[in-house]
């Protein structure tokens, strides 16, 4: 007979009937996992470059003050973490069924629902207070981001419509507005364009992922487009959104004052991402789409967004020198 050792922290509450004892390190790790740190990291990739660009767009040299950058980054990370923790609390019933989420701390019992809810509210309050201390507009945008993800996406849209990630994903666009408002205390055209880039980027980023985990989503009746629609339908949508995103990114040149570094990077990275999207579509026409194909587009989307925003950060410093 083969026996498998499972630690108390990894045993679902449903199997034991009670919360297992959890060490301090396991508890700390559980709280961190509630915040979905990989998502937070991706959001922060868009925040700092936007602050650099907004500072330059406002006619300033150098970079924003260290305090402003730290306050905005920490406040934004806490707001995103609070949203992720609320989402884990709301979705704990389906997380225990989906293989992809079956190790989350609310499923394993590392964190109790009460602890998760209190933790979520504490992060929310600290995040809003910190962002509001920068200026009220930044604080209100922080509130808007949390409400969009927790209420609009997690509570209302996620389990009801295949367009859930389109509108709910708008929460992931707020960091650029928060960053711009923190620096300028206003919202200008470049910030709106950056918002739209991420808005249009979200479907071709997430729908391939939902194709990869279609069995999970179907098991819990969550109608992610990539899980409930045919591969050709999903691929068409990925291509259309990718084209719209690339065109939108280039609007930063005439409307946002972007220079040569951003222009070349956005055009080059956009062309590459479009190629990957079209490969997915061509495979779908031949019924050759695999989970590996879908994940290739997913990973390409992350690389694309990183390159575009890194070029946004560099452009104010390198662009003028190259043009001069």
Based on the fold, state whether residues 36 and 162 are members of the same structural domain: yes
User: Is 48 a domain residue?
Assistant: yes
Q: Reduce the DSSP state of residue 224 to 3 states and report it.
A: coil
Q: Model's pTM, two decimal places?
A: 0.89
Domain check: are 45 and 182 in the same one? yes
Q: Does 115 lie in the same domain as 220? A: no
Phi/psi of residue 187, nearest 5 degrees: -120, 120
- Whether 261 and 311 have beta carbons less than 8 Å apart is answered as yes
- Spell out a b/e string for 74-95, using b for 16 or more CB atoms within 10 Å of the CB, else e: ebbbbbbbbbbbbbbbbbbebb
Give the range of the structural domain holding residue 176, as residue numbers without chain letter.
25-186
Residue 5: predicted pLDDT = 41
End residue of a domain, out of 154, 169, 186: 186
pLDDT band, very low/low/confident/very high, at 76 (cuts 50, 70, 90):
very high
pLDDT of residue 264: 96
The reported pLDDT for the residue numbered 250 is: 97
Asked whether residue 288 falls in the same domain as residue 203, the answer is yes
Give me 191's structure tokens: 């910030």
> Last residue of a domain, which of 186, 202, 222?
186
Residues 220 and 97 sit within 8 Å (Cβ to Cβ): yes
Q: Is residue 65 domain-resident?
A: yes
Tokens of 28: 């700390």
**For residue 3, pLDDT beyond 70:** no
pLDDT of 303 strictly over 90: yes
- What's phi and psi for 274, nearest 5 deg? -60, -40
What is the percentage of the chain residues whose pLDDT exceeds 70? 92
Is the residue at 135 inside a domain?
Answer: yes
311 in Cβ contact with 258 (< 8 Å): no
Give the span between the Cα atoms of 294 and 265, in whole angstroms: 24
Report CA torsion sign: 152, 156, 159, 163: negative
Euclidean distance between CA atoms 182 and 131, whole angstroms: 8
Domain identity same for 56 and 157: yes
The predicted structure's pLDDT at residue 19: 54
Distance CA 149, CA 253 (A): 30
**CATH code for the domain in which residue 137 is found:** 1.10.357.140
Which has the closest alpha carbon to 124: 107, 156, 147? Answer: 147
Let me know if residue 260 belongs to a domain: yes
10 located within any domain: no
How far CA 297 is from CA of 79, 186, 213, in Å, comes to: 28, 35, 14
User: Residue 10: which pLDDT band, with cuts at 50, 70 and 90?
Assistant: very low
Are residue 75 and residue 162 in the same domain, yes or no? Answer: yes
DSSP string, 214-281: HHHHHHTT---HHHHS-HHHHHHHHHHHHHHHHHHHHTTTTTT---HHHHHHHHHHHHHHHHHHHHHH
How confident is the model over 161-185, as pLDDT tens digits?
Answer: 998 988 888 888 999 999 999 999 9
Which tens digits make up the pLDDT trace of 244-299? 999 999 999 999 999 999 999 999 999 999 999 999 999 888 878 788 888 999 99
Domain total of the chain: 2
Report yes or no on 5 lying in a domain.
Answer: no
- Same domain? For 162 and 199 the reply is no
My answer on whether 29 and 125 are in the same domain is yes
Q: Could you give the angle at which helices 291-323 and 189-212 cross, rounded to 10 degrees?
A: 160
Residue 190, CA distances (Å) to 1, 197, 242, 253 in order: 64, 11, 19, 9
Q: How confident is the model at residue 148 (pLDDT cuts 50, 70, 90)?
A: very high
The answer to whether residue 170 is domain-embedded is yes
What is the rounded average pLDDT for all residues in the chain? 90
Cα–Cα distance list, 302 to 204, 209, 298 (Å): 10, 12, 7
Output the CA–CA distances (angstroms, integers) from residue 322 to 53, 260, 261, 315, 317, in the order listed: 17, 8, 9, 10, 9
Whether residues 46 and 107 share a domain: the answer is yes
**Neighbouring C-beta atoms of residue 288, cutoff 10 Å:** 11
* Same domain, residue pair 198 and 307: yes
Q: Is residue 11 part of a domain?
A: no
pLDDT tens digits for range 111-145? 999 999 999 999 999 999 999 999 999 999 999 99
Q: Which of 108, 95, 131, 86 is nearest to 10 (CA)?
A: 108
pLDDT of residue 145: 96
Better-scored residue on pLDDT, 6 or 311 = 311
Give dist(CA 83, CA 142) in Å, integer.
Answer: 11
* CA-derived radius of gyration, the chain: 21
Please state, in angstroms and as integers, the Cα–Cα distance from residue 40 to each residue in 162, 250, 276, following that order.
24, 26, 25
**179 plus 195 within the same structural domain:** no
CATH number for the domain spanning 278: value is: 1.20.120
Same domain, 75 and 137: yes
């Amino acid at each position: 007979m083969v026996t498998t050792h499972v630690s108390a922290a990894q045993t679902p509450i449903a199997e034991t009937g009670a919360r297992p004892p959890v060490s301090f390190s396991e508890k700390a790790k559980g709280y961190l996992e509630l915040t979905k740190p990989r998502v937070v990291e991706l959001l922060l990739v868009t925040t700092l470059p936007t602050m650099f660009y907004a500072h330059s767009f406002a006619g300033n040299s150098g970079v924003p003050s260290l305090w402003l950058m730290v306050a905005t980054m920490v406040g934004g990370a806490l707001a995103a973490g609070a949203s992720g923790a609320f989402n884990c609390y709301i979705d704990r019933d389906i997380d225990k069924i989906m293989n992809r989420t079956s190790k989350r701390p609310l499923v394993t019992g590392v964190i109790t629902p009460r602890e998760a809810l209190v933790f979520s509210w504490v992060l929310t309050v600290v995040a809003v207070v910190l962002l509001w201390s920068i200026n009220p507009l930044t604080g209100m945008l922080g509130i808007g981001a949390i409400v969009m993800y927790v209420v609009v996406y997690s509570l209302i849209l996620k389990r009801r419509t295949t367009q859930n990630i389109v509108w709910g994903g708008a929460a992931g666009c707020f960091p650029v507005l928060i960053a711009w408002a923190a620096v300028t205390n206003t919202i200008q055209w470049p910030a709106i364009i950056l918002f739209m880039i991420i808005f249009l980027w979200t479907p071709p980023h997430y729908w391939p992922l939902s194709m990869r985990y279609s069995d999970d989503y179907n098991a819990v009746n969550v109608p992610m487009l990539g899980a409930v629609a045919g591969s050709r339908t999903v691929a068409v949508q990925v291509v259309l959104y990718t084209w719209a995103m690339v065109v939108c990114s280039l609007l930063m040149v005439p409307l946002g004052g972007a220079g040569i570094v951003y222009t070349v990077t956005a055009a080059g990275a956009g062309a590459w991402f479009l190629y990957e999207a079209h490969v997915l579509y061509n495979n779908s026409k031949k019924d050759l789409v695999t989970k590996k194909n879908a994940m290739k587009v997913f990973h390409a989307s992350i690389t694309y967004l990183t390159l575009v925003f890194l070029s946004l950060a560099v452009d104010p410093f390198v662009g003028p020198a190259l043009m001069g």
